[in-house]
Structure 1
Amino acid sequence: MFCCSKKRVYKIHPEKQKVKRPTIIEDQLSRQEFTEQFIGEVLSCGTCNKSFSLRENELVATCGGCYKFLHCGIAGKCVGPNCLFKIKGEDYRETWCVKCVPNNIMINVVDIGSINNDCLCRECLNDPKTPKKFKRGLY
């Protein structure tokens, strides 16, 4: 029977077949069409749940705690050392909403509602590097 059958050669690692991908993409948008489509996106405010398009320019910031978009209910920018970032030599502070900052600190209760105000988040409240003048509580 050995004369009729032939010994097979098995490859341990078979060669993978290359798949040709199309080089032309037909659904590509022009730059202006893409910009119009992007600006037309609708996002909701994390505090009041109202919807705004990016074209309206109403959404001011995102919260550092819950990562929701904000147009109202802004506690301010955190003054603590954990929320300070340096990007290309400029200082940026993280913005927080009223729901994510502790309500028993004076700086969080006095001025709220504007992105230009100061606040102190929970993480920076417990940090020993934060100055004590910001940690004053309500009595």
Structure 2
Amino acid sequence: MFTCFKKSSNKVSDEITYLEGIFEPRPEGFKEIDVEKYQPISILKNGKDKPVKHRRRNSMYPKQSKKNIIKLNKIVMDEKRLEKDAFINEFNSEIIQCKGCFEKFNLGEHQIVMSCSGCNGFFHCHIAGACVGPNCSVILNGKKESLKYCMSCVNPYLKVNIEDNGLCLCKSCEDLSDIPNYYKEV
């Protein structure tokens, strides 16, 4: 619906004149706009006319409650524990043969005592002990750690290698001059 004001000379009138009579008629199916339904919105920021603001999210991911987080963490920890236990059981069931007596042991039985540094075999018997030489020793966390050898990797004629005291002298450290003579006794 189009309107215009009728102007008379120097006098402004409040009278509204509709333009339908001036222009051609409207086509069929044309709907008139209900003026009362479409009221203009004020751009002033007061009262009812204030435009509605959309709130932005603070983050992309919604926050979960602490109870849900704790439940999820417990479930994950239980799954990891079960997975670790299954791996340990599988690992402990592995069978290793002793190179001294050729018996077979599971790792879970804790019968295998050491790995020889000379032949890289696993032993539960025929153990000479830890080498007392300076080339085979390292200090870790204030404690002296030494390489361990089997009876076939050390000189069987030395007294220190035959005694069952947990000490031995390997073939590479036997020729060093730093070793005390009581270790070299035959």
- TM-score, reference length from structure 1: 0.70
Q: Write the mapping of 1:93-132 to structure 2, written as runs, cut at 5 A.
A: 93-109=146-162, 111-112=163-164, 117-132=166-181
Consecutive unaligned residues of structure 2, counting only runs of 5 or more, are 1-79
Q: Distance in 1 between matches of 2:112 and 2:98?
A: 7
Q: Say which SS state the counterpart of residue 91 (structure 1) adopts.
A: strand
Q: Say which SS state the counterpart of residue 43 (structure 1) adopts.
A: strand
Q: Say which SS state the counterpart of residue 130 (structure 1) adopts.
A: coil
Letter in structure 2 aligned against 1:32:
D
Q: Distance in 1 between matches of 2:144 and 2:157?
A: 27
Q: Distance in 1 between matches of 2:140 and 2:120?
A: 20
Q: CA deviation at 1:128?
A: 1.5
* 1:50 and 2:50 aligned: no
Range with greater deviation from structure 2 (56-65 or 127-136): 127-136
Q: Distance in 2 between matches of 1:45 and 1:136?
A: 30
Q: Over aligned residues, Cα RMSD in angstroms?
A: 1.7
Letter in structure 2 aligned against 1:135:
K
1:43-78 alpha-carbon deviations (Å, 9 max, x no partner): 111111111001111000011110111100001111
Counterpart of 2:120 in structure 1 is: 67
Q: Distance in 1 between matches of 2:98 and 2:128?
A: 14
Letter in structure 2 aligned against 1:124:
C
Counterpart of 2:91 in structure 1 is: 38
Question: Identity of counterpart residues, as a percentage?
Answer: 35
Q: Say which SS state the counterpart of residue 124 (structure 1) adopts.
A: coil
Q: Distance in 2 between matches of 1:67 and 1:32?
A: 28
Q: CA deviation at 1:121?
A: 0.6
Q: Distance in 1 between matches of 2:143 and 2:125?
A: 26
Q: CA deviation at 1:89?
A: 2.4
Q: Say which SS state the counterpart of residue 172 (structure 2) adopts.
A: helix
Aligned length: 106
- TM-score, reference length from structure 2: 0.53
Q: CA deviation at 1:85?
A: 1.4
Q: Which structure has the greater CA radius of gyration?
A: 2
Q: Runs of at least 4 residues of structure 1 off by over 2 A?
A: none
1:84-130 alpha-carbon deviations (Å, 9 max, x no partner): 11222221111111111001211112x24xxx521111011011111
* 1:87 and 2:136 aligned: no
Q: Distance in 1 between matches of 2:86 and 2:184?
A: 49
Letter in structure 1 aligned against 2:107:
L
Counterpart of 1:136 in structure 2 is: 185
Q: Say which SS state the counterpart of residue 122 (structure 1) adopts.
A: coil
Counterpart of 1:16 in structure 2 is: none
Letter in structure 2 aligned against 1:118:
L
